[in-house]
Structure 1
Amino acid sequence: MLYVENRKPAAKPEFTADNLFNHDYFGRLEDYLKDAFIGRNEIVELDTFINKSVLFRPVVNDIYCGKNMYLSRWKRVKPYDYQKDLDYMSEGYGELSRRLKDRGIDFIYVGIPEHSYAFADDYPSYLYNKYNEWKEIEDSFFDALHQKDVQCIRMSEKIKNVDSEYTKTDHHFSYVGAKNVYDEIIKRINEVTDYNLDSDVQLIQGPEPFKGSYARKLFFLGDIHDDYFVYAPDFPFERFDNGSKSENKLFFQDNNKYLGNMTYGIYMNGDVATTEIHTNRDHLPNILVYGDSFTNPLETLLVRNADNFCSVDFRYQRDKGLMDFIEAFHPDIVLCIRDNLNYLKRDGNGILN
């Protein structure tokens, strides 16, 4: 694993006639050699240091290095003709919502602004800003969800303090931001069901500086960092990851420190294909949540309000579909968590009906 780049090294291609003539053998071999040579990380880190700290380039490794914040650099592309994808996704969520309602299950779609969308106003004038495209798509998409009678929460309209609810160094929200999303989810559950759940939890600040995905791409160079938060669970539970007994923990500080900095993996120990948590509190609902890594901090909070809790990331869980988990888990509530960059993407955690 190339930790700083958050990807696996390129695999060595097999030398066959088919690969040679039909599958870009030499291009794949070049990618493999680039990743495999000794000292690669040290050279990339030195290059990052020179560009960021000596030449003071504003954009390094596709990260805009602002005075107090990092932002993702976006490359200009042709306008996205999104209507076909929007129709497909909104109809899919409408059908999924109806199917689950027929089973007595409440479905709630939660849309979360990604960091670049939340801080669109902070981009310098010379960098491409996709806010207008994202805003148009989000307006149209949530209008369509409402027309399909899908229970949905549009968090771009519910941010209270963007500086505390998002980090300076990561493309996700902060734990304070996750807490705000959690508050809205619990509020909506109470509105559409007979449950009376609470979201009152005392957050505890961690001692280490937090540096996220943007800082990782910059080899954690520089002083920009964030605070991070956890809480002390006051209920016993058993946790199972990918069908096997796991540590009964929600926060994994020791596993996720890098060069003295806390990283996003602290929450649920990062991305896991499937996690089940049993709390033996049968007066609470069974909750199933699916989505990408934005779910990780939310999972630590939502389990407070669940008898049995299940989270699925279908980027890694490929053997079963959503309905398979519903048949096995018998949820009362299903939550789909998506950030705005993925509203209309069909792969990974999109729809899955």
Structure 2
Amino acid sequence: MKSINSFMCLLFIAFTFPVLAQQKTSFSADQDTVLIRLQGRNQVHIIGNRLRTLATYERADSLKASFFSDLDKSLQNNAFPELPKRIHYFVSPEGKRRLKAEINEEFAAKFDLGYEKNRMNLDLPPLHYTIYDLPENVEMHFFLEDSATFELATTTMLSPALQKVKNEGKKANLLSTYRLEKTGFGFERRNPKKTNVVTLEFNGGLGAMLFGSQPCPVISYELYLTLPSSRFLKQRFGGSYNAFILTDFKDGKFENLNTGTHLKGYYQFKLNSTGQADSWLGISAGYVDTKRSTGLKRKELAWGLTCTQSRNNFSADFIPVGNKESYFLFTYKRFIL
């Protein structure tokens, strides 16, 4: 009974303290950035999946010209009651363009702590205009001080800056942010940032396990350590603690209660690309321990496969017990923390 009470306490903690249980230390996006300082605080951030693809991006100047031309027409036609601080400019695969402005009062009502921290760290000016090149999956963010800087953004050619990245060659594969500053002689490189971010994440979840032929509930706590991306492979290591309870249901009652734990470590690598829900596949190894015998020794080694897709985790574990006999554990968990 004491073990059952401990299990229920764990279950209560999982539902009651979700905010305190999750810790993420990463403040870095998966996409790469070419950061261009124009004059003063005025900046252009060109964002894409990889720096090597941004180096060959050829639509930056043409889309910039289209955006500021459409913006100028909208301002001349008094389409806005005041100068918008936030504008989204969408370019579809068919070449259609759409300009959407957020009026200052509406924008101020939407508070995003991460966005505000980023603005302070990079000393970004108040105007933020974004061009979304949907077919190329590239974003161009213009951070400008006021309308007087529109001419500066319009007349600055971005292709020479991207050419500097292209000239970097294979060295660009080791970088996540390439910083440039506009000078009277073109663009000069400034303090490139390497992709050396390590992410630590803790999650908790609930689910069900098929222990041999017997179904049972399971509660899980998992710790992930994601290593810096090598540009071609994103990988992580982790550990998982799973508590479960086996029981028989007879005559309307639960009988023969037997608690157990499944402790394992694993290695996973990322399957999908940036911009999609995270999908990971890997291998695991650990042991299974039950309070009372289930035909197994008190502790048995287990190894298998594990797959994580967003908040869902699936695993299949194999327990060899000798004499050509074995147990299989099939587990599904949903992370709630």
Higher RCO, Cα 8 Å, sep 6+: 1
Structure having the higher helix fraction is 1
Could you tell me the TM-score, scaled by structure 1's length?
Answer: 0.25
